[in-house]
């Protein structure tokens, strides 16, 4: 597949394309894949890393932050047409919005669930295990289809966001709608605080993840993404012009700001990795608020400020990874697990840490994942993305 800057399949003519955000998708999928590869090597079920973690390594040990970046990007991009409608632009067809979202995620996801169900089945009754996943049931127990289902929870969260986003013009378009929206926002804050600060006690992680891995618990990422889209649309031109005129920002001040935010996020992720991801989720879930805010600020910095180091974060290679990121996301974990786990059992001294042989083997696997994901994108995703690009009948 050609790794160059181009309009991804499914993007309609006249739609704004942000190559920087395509590269951020590439960064997000790299973080997620490295996190899972590292976790399989260590076989650490809690996500805990012994000893201190520096902010750079934290992006691997706590690379699940890539999922939050995906959520921020999704909210930023998908809220754009609704902001245009609120500004007096063309009304967004809810039916067309739903059709396009379905064509984007369902074909490959449905195939992945069917393959996982068949591959995991030991009896005819087992073929029903995939039904809750296909229906995006938040009570679906991913362990029943492990290792295929490890990343599926985030798609359920995305679908919940898709169902809520079309309400945005109703919530913000009138004075009464804004009052209702404010009431709902305050209600969410109270419920989220009650769960995150354990005013409501949910002792088991398995039960806790139902609300906290849903749009309720991951709302900060979506809200900050929508807020970043508003800043970009309303103030983006003025910010970009003022930044271009600023001697401090053009003389690498923008880069200093970006790297300070990355260091701050890395420091947060280091603490998460040291305590373990499950403990962090169960006891300190509110760290996701800071994480989502920083990713949203980084999106705006990449789009609006004069960065000298921009090509590190926005380039054709990352663009290419961003384009196939959905296929990589669904394919990578079972491939890594079925290849690395047997090697770790057979050669624990070589495949329990990042030894030379484990690094080389994992790198070869990652290249294979990229290749297979390119084929998946070309022959499974792209035909449906072409349908997505067409106007609704």
Mean pLDDT by 10 residues, the chain (393 residues): 55 75 97 93 64 86 96 97 94 94 96 96 91 91 88 96 96 94 95 89 74 93 98 96 95 96 96 87 91 98 96 94 97 96 86 85 95 96 85 61
Predicted confidence (pLDDT) per residue in 132-188, tens digit:
999 999 888 778 899 999 999 999 999 999 999 999 999 999 999 999 999 999 999
Q: How many angstroms separate the Cα of 379 from the Cα of each of 26, 100, 152, 383, 384?
A: 20, 18, 21, 7, 9
Q: 51: alpha, beta or left, given left = phi > 0 and alpha = psi -120 to 50?
A: left
Residue 10 has a pLDDT of 62
Say whether the peptide bond before residue 49 is cis (omega within 30 degrees of 0): no
Is residue 275 situated within a structural domain?
A: yes
Residue with token string 């608020």: 289
The token pair at 308 is: 């000298």
Q: Which helix (DSSP H) or strand (DSSP E) does residue 238 occupy?
A: helix 219-245
Tell me which long-range contacts 205-212 makes (C-beta under 8 A, separation of at least 24): 205/278, 205/281, 205/282, 208/281, 208/282, 209/153, 209/281, 210/138, 210/139, 212/281, 212/285
Kindly compute the dihedral angle of the four CA atoms of residues 17, 20, 21, 22, in this order, to the nearest 10 degrees.
80
The token pair at 301 is: 């910095």
pTM, full prediction = 0.94
Is residue 180 situated within a structural domain?
A: no
Residue 41 has a pLDDT of 85
Q: Give dist(CA 351, CA 239) in Å, integer.
A: 49
The range of the structural domain enclosing residue 33 comes to: 19-109+217-389
Residue 345 has a pLDDT of 86
Is residue 184 situated within a structural domain?
A: no
Name the nearest CA neighbour of 334 among 309, 306, 311, 368: 368
Residue 53 has a pLDDT of 83
Is residue 227 situated within a structural domain?
A: yes
* Structural domain total, the chain: 1
Is residue 209 situated within a structural domain?
A: no
Q: Give dist(CA 65, CA 237) in Å, integer.
A: 29
Residue with token string 């995620």: 105
Q: Give dist(CA 13, CA 136) in Å, integer.
A: 31
Is residue 197 situated within a structural domain?
A: no
Is residue 156 situated within a structural domain?
A: no
Is residue 190 situated within a structural domain?
A: no
């Amino acid at each position: 597949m050609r790794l160059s800057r181009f309009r991804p399949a499914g993007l309609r003519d006249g739609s704004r394309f942000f190559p920087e955000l395509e590269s951020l998708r590439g960064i997000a999928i790299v973080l997620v894949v490295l996190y899972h590869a590292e976790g399989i090597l260590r076989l650490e079920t809690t996500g805990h890393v012994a000893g201190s973690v520096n902010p750079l390594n934290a992006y691997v040990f706590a690379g699940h932050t890539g999922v939050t970046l995906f959520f921020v990007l999704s909210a930023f991009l998908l809220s754009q047409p609704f902001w245009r409608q609120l500004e007096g632009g063309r009304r967004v067809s809810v039916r067309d919005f739903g059709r396009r979202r379905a064509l984007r995620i369902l074909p490959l996801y449905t195939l992945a669930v069917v393959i996982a169900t068949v591959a995991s089945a030991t009896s005819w009754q087992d073929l029903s295990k995939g039904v809750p996943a296909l229906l995006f049931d938040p009570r679906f127990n991913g362990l029943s289809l492990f290792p295929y289902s490890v990343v599926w929870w985030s798609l359920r969260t995305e679908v919940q966001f898709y169902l809520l986003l079309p309400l945005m013009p109703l919530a913000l378009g009138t004075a009464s709608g804004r009052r209702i929206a404010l009431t709902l926002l305050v209600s969410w804050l109270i419920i989220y605080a009650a769960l995150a600060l354990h005013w409501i006690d949910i002792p088991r992680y398995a039960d806790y993840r139902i609300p906290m891995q849903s749009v309720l618990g991951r709302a900060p990422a979506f809200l900050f993404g929508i807020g970043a889209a508003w800043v970009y649309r309303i103030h983006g031109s003025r910010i970009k012009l003022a930044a271009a005129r600023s001697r401090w920002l053009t003389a690498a001040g923008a880069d200093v700001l970006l790297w300070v935010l990355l260091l701050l996020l890395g420091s947060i992720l280091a603490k998460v990795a040291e305590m373990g991801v499950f403990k962090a989720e169960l006891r300190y879930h509110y760290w996701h608020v800071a994480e989502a805010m920083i990713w949203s600020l980084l999106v705006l910095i990449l789009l609006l400020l004069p960065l000298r180091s921009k090509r590190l974060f926005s380039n054709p290679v990352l663009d290419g990874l961003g384009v196939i990121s959905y296929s990589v996301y669904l394919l990578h974990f079972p491939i890594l697990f079925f290849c690395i786990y047997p090697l770790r059992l057979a050669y624990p001294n070589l495949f329990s840490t990042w030894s030379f042989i484990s690094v080389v083997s994992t790198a070869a696997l990652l290249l294979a994942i990229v290749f297979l994901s390119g084929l998946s994108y070309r022959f499974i995703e792209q035909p449906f993305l072409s349908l997505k690009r067409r106007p609704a009948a």
